[in-house]
Structure 1
């Protein structure tokens, strides 16, 4: 499964206000050093948008966007789905935010193919 840089976490919340998204809103750097994203409201949703991609990183570019429909499941845990319009793929998504650390886990093919990505909040 290809890297889901914009999958992060951050994306479209399906409840009415974005106040619940405060834990995920902001700038995040992927742990492999290949990408940075901004997570913020986009319309009634929240999107993660690539703001920087390490040169030579295949299949990713600045401006790629991931739109997530996620709801809180517990303290800092969100789950739902994410849509990647660049690849026309929808993922089952779990996001866990603990302080300045975030982990996203996206699955496709009925949950048989999953990938987790760690993120660190940046200023």
Structure 2
């Protein structure tokens, strides 16, 4: 009896694990309001690679930042580009229930290793440079 239950439970466990990964992919996609409320980020499959996710600024919600540029970018030739359109998450690939890739902070003009996951309907974005890490929490935008 126990052996039969184990044989039934094994495929069910595999189906649940597979659907959880598919659900987490769907969960990170969408429009997210940054922790400071200043921007909306669209997270979607990357152009040219539907297996990875990318995020780019699609709107500045703070009117004083509406015409802001990427002034802190380490690449001097990019400092005059508008913040709207700037990629802030790139190459996010699934790793269990999380996604790992690269991030960019226009405020600091810094690139970082990014780990992203959804928890309680919010997007946790963890950025690490060397051994220093920081997590910010984004909420779904309407």
TM range, normalised to the smaller chain? Answer: 0.5 to 0.7
Using a 3 Å threshold, how does the CA distance of structure 1 residues 62 and 120 change in structure 2: closer, same or farther? Answer: same
Q: How many Å apart are 1:63 and its aligned residue?
A: 1.0
Within a 5 Å distance, the mapping from 1:96-107 to structure 2 comes to: 96-107=117-128
Within a 5 Å distance, the mapping from 1:1-123 to structure 2 comes to: 21-41=25-45, 42-44=47-49, 45-53=52-60, 54-57=62-65, 61-75=83-97, 77-79=98-100, 81-84=101-104, 89-108=110-129, 110-112=130-132, 114-123=133-142
Give the TM-score normalised by the residue count of structure 2: 0.57
Larger relative contact order (CA 8 Å, sep ≥ 6) = 1
RMSD (CA atoms): 2.9
Q: How many Å apart are 1:111 and its aligned residue?
A: 2.7
Instruction: Give the structure with the higher percent strand.
Output: 1
CA distance in structure 1 between the aligned counterparts of 2:32 and 2:110, rounded to whole angstroms: 22
Q: How many Å apart are 1:88 and its aligned residue?
A: 7.8
- Structure 1 portions without partners, runs of 5+: 1-18
Larger-gyration structure (1/2): 2
Contact 1:95 1:105 in 2 (8 A): yes
CA distance in structure 2 between the aligned counterparts of 1:47 and 1:91, rounded to whole angstroms: 14
Residues matched between the structures, number: 101
- Structure 2 portions without partners, runs of 5+: 1-21, 71-82
